[in-house]
Structure 1
Amino acid sequence: MKTIIYTHPWAKSFNHGILETLTTNFAAHKEAYQVIDLYQDKFNPVFDNDELAQFNKGTTPYPLVKDYQAMLKQTDELIIIFPIWWSTVPAILKGFIDKVMLPGFAYNIDDTGWHGLLTNIKKTTVITTSESPWSKFTDSIQGQFIDSLLPELGLHAEQTTWRHFDGVETSTPEARAEFLKELADL
């Protein structure tokens, strides 16, 4: 099962065009997929006292977190779509990681170290947009998100592809169409 984590609030954004391109392509090829749309779901990325008190136990009082965990357990291919804001992931995506990737679900720590548990996910594709070129984000997205954070969850960098579209506000319709065509071929 493919799972898309989609992180953009505006339905007319280029990010939404990316989401529509992928879901249309998956449906046309009869590929099973599901979408976690953090804004549409009104996901609250902020910990409250009750949630934080349960964090180290690997539990949560938040039903949506449990739903997301069930979806991720069914996933063998993960696609994460987000705009790069202030040189990093949007706050709602960071909050998703904080609240959903609980100990005992996404990782364990023992005497031998940190062990990612989402090993059922065999392939990850990160798709980002920004006005600035991708080279500006090699430390934050490639280094911190892909090479550091994802492996801590069991998603290995060598199984992860990063696709970036820069100049999102100044690009031509032809450039956008070409990027979407390339994504449909993933």
Structure 2
Amino acid sequence: MKALVIFAHPVPESFSSALHRKVVDTLTARGWEVDDWDLNAEGFDPVLSCEERRNYQDTESDRSAVQPHVDRIMQADALVLVFPVWNFGFPAILKGVFDRIFLPGVSFRLEDGFVKPNLTHIKKLAAVTTYGGTRWRAFGAGDPPRKIVKRAVWHVTRPEKTRYLALYDMNRNSEETRKAFLDKVGREMDAL
């Protein structure tokens, strides 16, 4: 099995980085082949250009700028997103993956005006994330990241297993709470 881990955080000593290491280490120890895509370290450009937007619907257009990233997603059996929630949304660099890589003909296809899933080879989908605020604050804001993962990304993958692992209230969490969440992430990746 091959897992594509997409990591979005610019600070190597962050708690998100510790979560990222836990995910990669646990999956590797289980014998998974892990494609570790650290967006910041690899210098991924999240900006959808004018030309890319103009050609968005054209599945025959030149996609050489993003083809290596498309290939990575197409080779994955599992997709694991590791990111912090900032301002009740994804970090811009991760949002750019959805804008630039989850294209018609890649993540979905249009049939008679309806979106049909195109990443059905992905059998497992997981998100590992942290929120500065409480679960209630996220709920009150509509919790867009949770909805996008559990509805939009789920829809184009239709995985057998989906997990959304979130640690809320990072602004006030203790070292014990963070360690307990790291352990939970390890258990969940071990069961993925």
TM-score (norm 2): 0.86
Deviation digits for residues 108-138 of structure 1 (CA, Å, limit 9, x no counterpart):
1121611010001111111110121234334
CA distance in 1, matches of 2:162, 2:179: 23
Over the matched positions of the two proteins, sequence identity in percent amounts to 23
**Alpha-carbon spacing, 1:134–1:68, altered in 2? closer, same or farther (3 Å):** farther
Alignment partner, residue 142 of structure 1: 146
**Alpha-carbon spacing, 1:48–1:152, altered in 2? closer, same or farther (3 Å):** same
Is the contact between residue 117 and residue 154 of structure 1 (CA under 8 Å) also seen in structure 2? Answer: yes
Pairs within 5 Å for 1:53-92:
53-58=54-59, 59-63=61-65, 65-92=66-93
Alignment partner, residue 168 of structure 1: 170
Code of the aligned partner of 1:141: P
Is the contact between residue 123 and residue 157 of structure 2 (CA under 8 Å) also seen in structure 1? Answer: no
1:101 is the counterpart of 2:102: yes
State the 1:57 CA deviation: 1.3
Give the match's secondary structure for 1:182.
Answer: helix
C-alpha RMSD of the superposition? 1.9
Code of the aligned partner of 1:101: F
State the 1:27 CA deviation: 2.6
1:185 is the counterpart of 2:187: yes
TM-score (norm 1): 0.88
Deviation digits for residues 72-120 of structure 1 (CA, Å, limit 9, x no counterpart):
1111111111111111112211111010011111111121611010001
Code of the aligned partner of 2:114: G
Alignment partner, residue 41 of structure 2: 40
- Structure 2: where are the runs of 5+ without partners? none
Alignment partner, residue 13 of structure 1: 14
CA distance in 2, matches of 1:116, 1:135: 32
Alignment partner, residue 113 of structure 1: 114
Greater displacement, 130-139 / 109-118: 130-139
**Alpha-carbon spacing, 1:136–1:146, altered in 2? closer, same or farther (3 Å):** farther
State the 1:148 CA deviation: 3.2
**Alpha-carbon spacing, 1:76–1:86, altered in 2? closer, same or farther (3 Å):** same
